[in-house]
Amino acid sequence: MQVTPKIKVVRRLRWADPTLSWGFVPTMGYLHAGHLSLVERARADNDRVAVSIYVNPTQFAPTEDLSTYPRNMERDLALLREVGVDLVFTPDNDVMYPPGFQTSVSVNDVSQPLEGASRPTHFAGVTVVVAKLFNIMQPTRAYFGQKDAQQVIVLQRMVRDLNFNLDLVVCPTGREPDGLAMSSRNVHLSPEQRSAATVLSRCLREAVVMLHAGERDGNALRALMRDTIVAEPLATIDYVSVADPETLQEVEQVTDRALLSLAVFFGRIRLIDNMLWLTPTN
Protein backbone atom coordinates (compact mmCIF):
# COMPACT_ATOMS: atom_id res chain seq x y z
CA MET A 1 0.00 0.00 0.00
CA GLN A 2 1.45 3.34 -1.11
CA VAL A 3 0.66 6.38 1.04
CA THR A 4 1.40 9.80 -0.38
CA PRO A 5 0.45 13.45 0.10
CA LYS A 6 1.70 14.26 -3.43
CA ILE A 7 -0.45 14.67 -6.53
CA LYS A 8 2.48 13.77 -8.78
CA VAL A 9 2.93 10.42 -7.04
CA VAL A 10 -0.79 9.67 -7.31
CA ARG A 11 -0.73 10.38 -11.05
CA ARG A 12 2.37 8.25 -11.58
CA LEU A 13 0.84 5.25 -9.81
CA ARG A 14 -2.60 5.75 -11.37
CA TRP A 15 -1.24 5.83 -14.91
CA ALA A 16 1.59 3.27 -14.54
CA ASP A 17 -0.69 0.84 -16.36
CA PRO A 18 -3.51 2.74 -18.08
CA THR A 19 -5.40 -0.46 -18.89
CA LEU A 20 -6.22 -1.12 -15.22
CA SER A 21 -9.50 0.02 -13.66
CA TRP A 22 -9.36 2.05 -10.46
CA GLY A 23 -11.96 2.37 -7.74
CA PHE A 24 -11.80 5.48 -5.56
CA VAL A 25 -13.22 6.10 -2.09
CA PRO A 26 -12.88 9.72 -0.93
CA THR A 27 -13.05 10.05 2.87
CA MET A 28 -12.42 12.51 5.68
CA GLY A 29 -10.73 9.75 7.66
CA TYR A 30 -11.61 8.37 11.10
CA LEU A 31 -12.81 5.35 9.20
CA HIS A 32 -15.65 3.13 10.35
CA ALA A 33 -17.24 -0.02 8.96
CA GLY A 34 -19.32 2.11 6.57
CA HIS A 35 -16.18 3.42 4.87
CA LEU A 36 -14.64 -0.04 4.83
CA SER A 37 -17.69 -1.49 3.08
CA LEU A 38 -17.19 1.13 0.35
CA VAL A 39 -13.57 0.04 0.05
CA GLU A 40 -14.59 -3.61 -0.15
CA ARG A 41 -17.07 -2.84 -2.89
CA ALA A 42 -14.37 -0.87 -4.76
CA ARG A 43 -12.00 -3.81 -4.26
CA ALA A 44 -14.53 -6.21 -5.81
CA ASP A 45 -15.30 -3.97 -8.81
CA ASN A 46 -11.81 -2.80 -9.84
CA ASP A 47 -8.23 -3.85 -10.51
CA ARG A 48 -6.89 -1.24 -8.09
CA VAL A 49 -8.33 0.75 -5.17
CA ALA A 50 -7.41 4.24 -4.02
CA VAL A 51 -8.66 6.02 -0.88
CA SER A 52 -8.20 9.68 0.01
CA ILE A 53 -8.08 10.90 3.59
CA TYR A 54 -8.61 14.65 3.76
CA VAL A 55 -10.67 16.73 6.16
CA ASN A 56 -11.70 19.37 3.63
CA PRO A 57 -11.93 22.78 5.33
CA THR A 58 -14.06 24.39 2.60
CA GLN A 59 -17.07 22.22 3.41
CA PHE A 60 -17.15 23.38 7.04
CA ALA A 61 -18.64 26.77 7.94
CA PRO A 62 -16.59 28.86 10.42
CA THR A 63 -19.11 27.94 13.14
CA GLU A 64 -18.85 24.20 12.47
CA ASP A 65 -16.75 21.38 13.83
CA LEU A 66 -13.66 21.45 11.60
CA SER A 67 -11.22 21.68 14.50
CA THR A 68 -12.89 18.94 16.51
CA TYR A 69 -13.60 16.62 13.59
CA PRO A 70 -12.09 13.32 14.75
CA ARG A 71 -8.77 12.28 13.21
CA ASN A 72 -6.59 9.18 13.54
CA MET A 73 -4.35 8.68 10.52
CA GLU A 74 -2.36 5.78 11.96
CA ARG A 75 -5.45 3.73 12.75
CA ASP A 76 -7.01 4.62 9.37
CA LEU A 77 -3.96 3.40 7.47
CA ALA A 78 -3.87 0.16 9.48
CA LEU A 79 -7.54 -0.49 8.64
CA LEU A 80 -6.99 0.23 4.94
CA ARG A 81 -3.93 -2.00 4.84
CA GLU A 82 -6.05 -4.78 6.28
CA VAL A 83 -8.86 -4.40 3.73
CA GLY A 84 -6.35 -4.23 0.90
CA VAL A 85 -5.91 -0.79 -0.65
CA ASP A 86 -3.29 0.07 -3.28
CA LEU A 87 -2.98 3.83 -2.84
CA VAL A 88 -3.87 6.28 -0.08
CA PHE A 89 -3.79 10.00 -0.89
CA THR A 90 -3.29 12.17 2.21
CA PRO A 91 -2.86 15.74 0.97
CA ASP A 92 -2.20 18.83 3.07
CA ASN A 93 -4.26 22.00 2.80
CA ASP A 94 -1.51 23.78 0.88
CA VAL A 95 -1.53 21.06 -1.77
CA MET A 96 -5.29 21.26 -2.15
CA TYR A 97 -5.75 25.04 -1.77
CA PRO A 98 -2.45 26.74 -2.60
CA PRO A 99 -2.08 30.55 -2.49
CA GLY A 100 -4.09 32.19 -5.26
CA PHE A 101 -6.71 29.43 -5.34
CA GLN A 102 -9.91 31.03 -6.63
CA THR A 103 -12.04 28.50 -8.51
CA SER A 104 -15.51 27.42 -7.44
CA VAL A 105 -17.71 24.54 -8.56
CA SER A 106 -21.38 24.63 -7.58
CA VAL A 107 -24.46 22.57 -8.25
CA ASN A 108 -27.07 25.25 -7.99
CA ASP A 109 -30.56 23.86 -7.33
CA VAL A 110 -30.23 20.56 -5.46
CA SER A 111 -27.61 22.12 -3.15
CA GLN A 112 -30.18 24.55 -1.73
CA PRO A 113 -32.68 22.66 0.49
CA LEU A 114 -32.13 20.37 3.51
CA GLU A 115 -28.40 20.23 4.38
CA GLY A 116 -27.88 23.22 2.06
CA ALA A 117 -30.43 25.30 3.96
CA SER A 118 -28.81 24.45 7.32
CA ARG A 119 -25.24 24.64 5.96
CA PRO A 120 -25.28 27.22 3.12
CA THR A 121 -21.60 26.89 2.12
CA HIS A 122 -21.31 23.13 2.64
CA PHE A 123 -21.99 21.72 -0.82
CA ALA A 124 -19.87 24.29 -2.67
CA GLY A 125 -17.02 22.96 -0.51
CA VAL A 126 -17.94 19.36 -1.30
CA THR A 127 -18.25 19.88 -5.05
CA VAL A 128 -14.97 21.75 -5.42
CA VAL A 129 -12.98 19.21 -3.43
CA VAL A 130 -14.59 16.21 -5.12
CA ALA A 131 -14.01 17.76 -8.57
CA LYS A 132 -10.35 18.18 -7.60
CA LEU A 133 -10.06 14.64 -6.21
CA PHE A 134 -11.71 13.20 -9.32
CA ASN A 135 -9.18 15.04 -11.52
CA ILE A 136 -6.27 14.01 -9.34
CA MET A 137 -7.29 10.36 -9.12
CA GLN A 138 -9.15 9.92 -12.44
CA PRO A 139 -10.87 6.79 -11.18
CA THR A 140 -12.96 4.41 -13.23
CA ARG A 141 -15.52 4.31 -10.42
CA ALA A 142 -16.04 6.43 -7.30
CA TYR A 143 -17.86 5.17 -4.20
CA PHE A 144 -20.12 7.15 -1.87
CA GLY A 145 -22.47 6.16 0.94
CA GLN A 146 -26.23 6.64 0.82
CA LYS A 147 -25.84 8.02 4.36
CA ASP A 148 -25.13 11.42 2.80
CA ALA A 149 -28.14 11.26 0.51
CA GLN A 150 -28.10 14.86 -0.64
CA GLN A 151 -24.34 14.75 -1.20
CA VAL A 152 -24.89 11.80 -3.52
CA ILE A 153 -27.60 13.68 -5.44
CA VAL A 154 -25.44 16.80 -5.72
CA LEU A 155 -22.42 14.78 -6.90
CA GLN A 156 -24.44 12.72 -9.39
CA ARG A 157 -25.62 16.01 -10.88
CA MET A 158 -22.05 17.36 -10.97
CA VAL A 159 -20.70 14.21 -12.64
CA ARG A 160 -23.44 14.36 -15.27
CA ASP A 161 -23.28 18.13 -15.86
CA LEU A 162 -19.48 18.33 -16.07
CA ASN A 163 -19.12 14.99 -17.90
CA PHE A 164 -16.67 13.38 -15.48
CA ASN A 165 -15.65 10.09 -17.09
CA LEU A 166 -16.45 7.79 -14.18
CA ASP A 167 -19.26 5.82 -12.61
CA LEU A 168 -20.53 7.11 -9.31
CA VAL A 169 -21.51 4.07 -7.22
CA VAL A 170 -23.82 4.58 -4.24
CA CYS A 171 -23.57 2.06 -1.40
CA PRO A 172 -26.05 1.36 1.43
CA THR A 173 -25.69 3.16 4.74
CA GLY A 174 -23.66 1.18 7.26
CA ARG A 175 -25.59 0.79 10.54
CA GLU A 176 -24.81 -0.25 14.09
CA PRO A 177 -26.79 -3.28 15.40
CA ASP A 178 -29.34 -0.91 16.98
CA GLY A 179 -29.88 0.93 13.69
CA LEU A 180 -27.76 4.07 14.23
CA ALA A 181 -26.17 5.13 10.96
CA MET A 182 -22.40 4.90 11.17
CA SER A 183 -20.69 8.29 11.30
CA SER A 184 -17.29 9.48 12.41
CA ARG A 185 -19.13 12.04 14.52
CA ASN A 186 -20.83 9.33 16.62
CA VAL A 187 -17.64 9.11 18.69
CA HIS A 188 -18.50 12.48 20.23
CA LEU A 189 -21.86 11.27 21.64
CA SER A 190 -22.17 10.75 25.41
CA PRO A 191 -23.56 7.32 26.39
CA GLU A 192 -26.99 8.92 26.95
CA GLN A 193 -26.91 10.73 23.61
CA ARG A 194 -25.65 7.58 21.89
CA SER A 195 -28.62 5.68 23.21
CA ALA A 196 -31.08 8.47 22.34
CA ALA A 197 -29.66 8.73 18.81
CA THR A 198 -31.42 5.53 17.77
CA VAL A 199 -34.49 7.74 17.39
CA LEU A 200 -33.23 8.77 13.90
CA SER A 201 -33.40 5.37 12.27
CA ARG A 202 -36.45 4.42 14.34
CA CYS A 203 -38.55 7.32 13.08
CA LEU A 204 -37.41 6.71 9.49
CA ARG A 205 -38.43 3.05 9.75
CA GLU A 206 -41.80 4.08 11.17
CA ALA A 207 -42.36 6.40 8.22
CA VAL A 208 -41.42 3.62 5.80
CA VAL A 209 -43.92 1.31 7.52
CA MET A 210 -46.61 3.98 7.09
CA LEU A 211 -45.72 4.35 3.40
CA HIS A 212 -46.00 0.58 2.93
CA ALA A 213 -49.36 0.76 4.69
CA GLY A 214 -50.56 3.29 2.10
CA GLU A 215 -49.98 6.68 3.74
CA ARG A 216 -49.09 9.14 0.96
CA ASP A 217 -49.59 12.50 2.62
CA GLY A 218 -46.27 14.34 2.97
CA ASN A 219 -47.41 16.42 5.94
CA ALA A 220 -48.70 13.36 7.79
CA LEU A 221 -45.38 11.55 7.26
CA ARG A 222 -43.33 14.56 8.35
CA ALA A 223 -45.56 14.99 11.43
CA LEU A 224 -45.08 11.33 12.33
CA MET A 225 -41.30 11.62 12.16
CA ARG A 226 -41.34 14.93 14.01
CA ASP A 227 -43.52 13.52 16.84
CA THR A 228 -41.20 10.55 17.34
CA ILE A 229 -38.15 12.78 17.63
CA VAL A 230 -39.83 15.34 19.87
CA ALA A 231 -40.62 12.49 22.29
CA GLU A 232 -36.86 12.04 22.76
CA PRO A 233 -35.76 14.74 25.25
CA LEU A 234 -32.05 14.77 24.21
CA ALA A 235 -32.89 15.33 20.53
CA THR A 236 -33.43 18.73 18.85
CA ILE A 237 -34.76 18.71 15.30
CA ASP A 238 -32.92 20.64 12.63
CA TYR A 239 -35.13 19.40 9.78
CA VAL A 240 -37.41 16.53 8.86
CA SER A 241 -38.10 15.99 5.19
CA VAL A 242 -40.15 13.91 2.77
CA ALA A 243 -38.83 15.01 -0.61
CA ASP A 244 -38.64 14.11 -4.27
CA PRO A 245 -35.35 12.16 -4.57
CA GLU A 246 -34.36 14.00 -7.76
CA THR A 247 -35.26 17.64 -7.06
CA LEU A 248 -35.21 17.42 -3.23
CA GLN A 249 -38.38 19.52 -3.11
CA GLU A 250 -40.79 18.63 -0.29
CA VAL A 251 -43.72 16.57 -1.57
CA GLU A 252 -47.40 17.06 -0.78
CA GLN A 253 -48.37 13.59 -1.96
CA VAL A 254 -45.85 10.79 -2.35
CA THR A 255 -46.19 9.05 -5.70
CA ASP A 256 -43.75 6.26 -6.56
CA ARG A 257 -40.69 7.36 -4.57
CA ALA A 258 -39.59 9.58 -1.71
CA LEU A 259 -36.44 10.46 0.18
CA LEU A 260 -37.13 10.54 3.92
CA SER A 261 -34.36 12.45 5.63
CA LEU A 262 -33.58 14.35 8.79
CA ALA A 263 -30.95 16.21 10.75
CA VAL A 264 -31.06 16.19 14.54
CA PHE A 265 -28.86 17.77 17.18
CA PHE A 266 -27.76 15.95 20.34
CA GLY A 267 -26.18 18.78 22.25
CA ARG A 268 -23.75 20.29 19.76
CA ILE A 269 -23.45 17.08 17.74
CA ARG A 270 -25.49 17.11 14.56
CA LEU A 271 -26.43 13.76 13.04
CA ILE A 272 -28.17 12.99 9.76
CA ASP A 273 -29.89 9.92 8.41
CA ASN A 274 -32.22 8.99 5.55
CA MET A 275 -34.09 6.22 3.85
CA LEU A 276 -35.04 6.09 0.21
CA TRP A 277 -38.52 4.67 -0.34
CA LEU A 278 -39.47 3.20 -3.71
CA THR A 279 -42.82 1.66 -4.61
CA PRO A 280 -42.40 -2.07 -4.16
CA THR A 281 -42.38 -3.63 -7.64
CA ASN A 282 -44.60 -6.66 -8.06
**Which residues are tagged catalytic?**
35
Q: What is the DSSP letter of 181?
A: B
Q: Annotate 163-178 with DSSP letters as a single string.
A: T-SSEEEEEPPPB-TT
* Nearest-approach distance from CB 102 to its own copies, in angstroms: 5
Our CB check for its own copies shows the closer of 130 and 263 to be: 130
Question: Cβ of residue 97: shortest distance to its own copies, in angstroms?
Answer: 8
Helix H or strand E encompassing 98: none
**Strand 257-266 relative to strand 235-243: parallel, antiparallel, unpaired?**
antiparallel
Q: State whether residue 30 is helix, strand or coil.
A: coil
| Binding site residues, its own copies, CB under 8 A | 7, 11, 18-19, 100-110, 127-128, 131-132, 135-136, 138, 157-158, 161-165
Pick 104 or 190: Cβ nearer its own copies? 104
For its own copies, give the closer residue by CB, 158 or 204: 158
Q: Which is nearer to its own copies, 16 or 213 (CB)?
A: 16
Nearer to its own copies by C-beta: 163 or 282? 163
Expressed in angstroms, the distance from the first to the final Cα of the chain is 46
Query: By the 8 A CB rule, do 155 and 105 touch?
Result: no
Q: Which helix (H) or strand (E) holds 15?
A: none
In angstroms, the CA 62 to CA 267 distance is 18
Q: What angle do CA 103, 109, 113 make, to 5 degrees?
A: 110
Q: Which residues make Cβ contacts (< 8 Å) with residue 237, sequence separation at least 6?
A: 226, 229, 230, 262, 263, 264, 265
